[in-house]
Amino acid sequence: MIKIGNDINLAKKILDKNGLVAIPTETVYGLAGNATNKEAVNKIYLIKKRPFEDPLICHTNSLEKILNYTKNIPETAIKLADYFWPGPMTLIFEKKNIIPDITTSNLSTVGFRIPNNSITLELLHQLDYPLAAPSANIFGYISPTETKHITQNFKSGIDYILDGGKCNLGIESTIIGFHNNIPVIHRLGSLIIEDIKKKVGEVEIVSSDSKFPGSFKNHYTPNKDLFLGDVEKLFEKYKNKKIGILCFDKYYDFVDKKNQIILSKKSSLIEASKNLYSSLYKLDNMKNVDVILSSLLEENMIGRSINNRLIKSSIKND
C-alpha cells in the first residue's frame, strides 16, 4: 500500500533521499523526483514504463530558481511567465548542464513550469532542486486527477502520495517552445490558445503528427476501445457489445443510464475538462462495459484541448 497524506516535511525527506512522491497540481497529479539526480529520474522512467526518449518536465516555485537551470531565456517567455505562472503552462528553455541528460532525453532543452497548487508550491518552496514530474500514470494510460487513480496505476514504487484532492483543471499544461521569440505550441493543454494570443499576439502550432517529443500518437488511452463520432451511428455499429457512453451534457436514451457518464450537466467546457480523465477512469473500470463511445466537443477554447485528448485516447474509426 502506498502511503497517502498531506505531510510536506515527510515528502521533502523522501525527495531529499532521491525517493519518489506523487504531487498534486492544478492539471493532473505528477510523479516527482529530484530533477538533478540521475538515480531519482531513472526510477521515474522505470516505474512508469516510459521510454527513455520521452523527456520529463521540471517543476519549481519561482522564475529566479528557473534561471539557475536554464539559459538564453527569450523575452516573450518572461512575458508569458509573468502572465501565466503559477499556472498550467510549461515553457521550453535551453538547459544548463546541472539538469542531467537523462531528464531531458539528451535534448539541449528543458521544460519548466510553476504549478498552481498550494501544497505543492509550499513543498517546492522548501526544496533546493526542481522536481521532474511526468503525469503519475503508467505510460500511455489515462492521466490521474485523483489519488485513487494513482493507486490504480501503481501498487508500489512510489514512496508517498501528497494528497491535494481532485485536480482543479484536469488536463495537462500547455507546452510552449520558442522560435525567434515567437511562442510555438508543442502540446495543447489547460492554458488556451485564445488567452496566449491575447497577451503575446502571434503563436505557431506544431502539427499533431510531428515527431517531436510529447506528440506520441496514442496516449491517455483506456484499456477498453474508445470510438469517437456520431454516437447514435456508433451505437448501431457496436450494439452487440456492452456499450458505455462518455456524454457531454445529457444522456442518450438508447443506452442504460448506469453505463453513461456526463462531463458537464450545465454544458460547461471547463467543467467537462475537469471531469474528462476521471470519467474515462470510471468507464474503463465498469464491469458491464466493453466499448466506450463518445463524440468530439466544440473545437474552441478548452474544447480544442479536450478533443485533442479524446482523439489521442481513441481508436481510429473508419
Least Å from the CB of residue 28 to ligand TXA? 5
Give the Å distances, CA to CA, from 174 to 91, 240, 276.
Answer: 8, 39, 16
Of 14, 25, 34, 102, the residue at the interface with ligand TXA (CB under 6 A) is: 25
Place of cell 494528497: 163
Options 172, 222, 262, 283; binder of ligand TXA; rule CB under 6 A: 172
Which residues are CB-contacts of 213 (< 8 A; sequence separation ≥ 6)? Answer: 53, 54, 55, 105, 107
If one asks whether residue 133 binds ligand TXA (CB under 6 A), the answer comes out as yes
CA 244: distance to chain centroid?
A: 24
Residue 117 engages Mg ion in binding (rule: CB under 5 A): no
Q: Between 131 and 289, name the residue whose CB sits nearer to ligand TXA.
A: 131
Applying CB under 6 A, which of residues 11, 15, 35, 56 lies at the interface with ligand TXA? Answer: 56
Q: Which of 74, 214, 222, 244 binds ligand TXA (CB under 6 A)?
A: 214
Say whether residue 60 binds ligand TXA (CB under 6 A). no
- Residues 122-141, one symbol each (x = binds Mg ion by CB under 5 A, - = not), give -------------x------
CB neighbours (10 Å) of residue 51?
A: 12
- Judged by CB under 6 A, does residue 305 bind ligand TXA? no
Q: Count the residues of the shown chain that bind ligand TXA, applying the rule CB under 6 A.
A: 25
Exposure of 173 in the CB half-sphere (CA atoms within 13 A): 29
**What is the contact surface with ligand TXA in residues (CB under 6 A)?**
25, 27-28, 30, 54-57, 90, 92, 104, 107, 109-111, 115, 133-135, 172-173, 175, 186, 213-214
**What is the contact surface with Mg ion in residues (CB under 5 A)?**
135
